[in-house]
Amino acid sequence: MTKTSKEALSEIALDLFARKGFRETSIGDIEDAAGLKRRAGGFYRHFKSKDAVLFEGLEAMAAEMVAEVRLEDVLQRPDVRAELIFIATSLLDHAAQFRVLRLLLLREAHKVPELEDVMQSANLKLARQDIVPWTEHALKRAGKDEDATSFSLLVFGPVLTYLISLDRDRPAFGLDQDVMLESWASYWAGQLQPVSEI
């Protein structure tokens, strides 16, 4: 699938924001990097402002992140371990796809406070829509009476920690992603084994 001019311009702008900083990047810088003539309107044919580029990129990331993990897709896996691997792999793959934007958020959120609100909202939506319902389902199958939201954090916290280590190009403990996920999923599958299989 080829990118539209708007998508290409957005990608160039987000890359510049990540490398130079959001406030430090001018629209002229974006036009130069995109091969557009400065002040000829090429940028404004697609975006009304520099902020619009950033927020549209965030909205796209948030929408894809929430669409990435669907409970009905997870439950088609053959067992709890496979469900866990599916969820974690989906989250890590999505994170890799949007790494530039996420690193930008880490660097720039304090300069543009609205960014934190957008990401917090996306993370909460993902948790409420898919992660917590899966955890509720898994706890019920396992005959456990735990708070699903808190338990979700316990289960998926290690995946998020590993994700942060990947963002820094230093995988936690030097572990390969597959090795890490196998160990993690095996442990939690043991904790969440359905009652019917005990």
**pLDDT tens digits for the chain (198 residues)?**
345 588 888 888 888 887 888 888 999 999 999 898 888 888 999 999 988 888 887 777 666 655 567 788 888 999 999 999 999 998 888 878 777 777 777 777 777 677 777 667 766 776 777 789 999 999 999 999 999 999 999 999 999 899 888 888 888 889 999 999 999 999 999 999 998 865
Dihedral pair phi/psi, residue 6, rounded to 5°: -65, -45
Q: At what angle do helices 80-97 and 148-167 cross, to 10 degrees?
A: 40
Q: Spelled out in words, what is the top-level CATH class assigned to the domain 54-197?
A: mainly alpha
pTM for this model (two decimals)? 0.74
Architecture of domain 1-48: Orthogonal Bundle (1.10)
Cβ count near 87 (within 10 Å): 24
Structural domain spans, the chain: 1-48, 54-197
Say if CB 189 and CB 80 are below 8 A apart: yes
